[in-house]
Amino acid sequence: MASIFDLFKKFEEIRAEKSSPAGSVEFIICGLGNPGPEYENTRHNAGFMAVDHIASREGFKVTRAKFDALTADVTFAGKRVLFMKPQTYMNLSGQAVGKAADFYKIPPEKIIIISDDVNLAVGKMRVRRSGSSGGQKGLADIIKRLGTEAFPRVRIGVGSPPSGGDMVNWVLGKIPEPDVPEFKKCIENVRDAVSLIVNGKIDEAMNRYN
């Protein structure tokens, strides 16, 4: 016999399906990060923060559990888009992205990944049409799962650790207070960069934000 929790979850899924925009999902926009309150607002969760900012600006919530992720199926920039925040932890991000891509038959060029980048100064952004992971574990797992590097990504600068510093502690740490304004400005710009990519203007996004 189904529990009250299971029935409530099923009701939420049915309601989400009914509220989804018409047509099929055309794009996946996935912000990378680690789930759990202990990781909130850390450098490694820059992708989560960017997706949350877009959701707040656009008036939706990324809360539906699906594909090992929290998701939202919405109209964004005139297209039907699935926003994702994988709940698999960073190193297995490809598991969530791959499941959604397989289900909706989304080609790599329409999968946009938002991640942190320790090779960029805080507040800097880099939009790329494709490329290597650059050492970012979530991107590496997505490349492995999709079998290609040919998907767009928006990389958010979080700065690099001091010489001899531990990388794990660095990415799981928070942006220093003096750098927060520049970091937030970059997060805010992700919305417009992603909107341009969705509308086939990735070159304009690169020229404007790189």
Report, as residue numbers or ranges, the catalytic residues: 44
In the chain, the N- to C-terminal Cα span, in Å, equals: 55
CB atoms within 10 A of CB 1: 4
CA distance 4 to 10: 10
Q: Are 152 and 128 in contact (CB under 8 A)?
A: yes
Reading the block at residue 153, the tokens are 């990504």
- Strands of the chain, DSSP E: 27-31, 64-66, 69-76, 79-86, 111-117, 125-128, 153-157
DSSP code, position 98? H
Using CA of residue 147, residue 150, residue 152, residue 156, what is the dihedral sign? Answer: positive
Please identify which residue in the block is written with the tokens 């341009």.
196
Strand order of the β-sheet with 27-31 is: 64-66, 69-76, 79-86, 27-31, 111-117, 153-157, 125-128
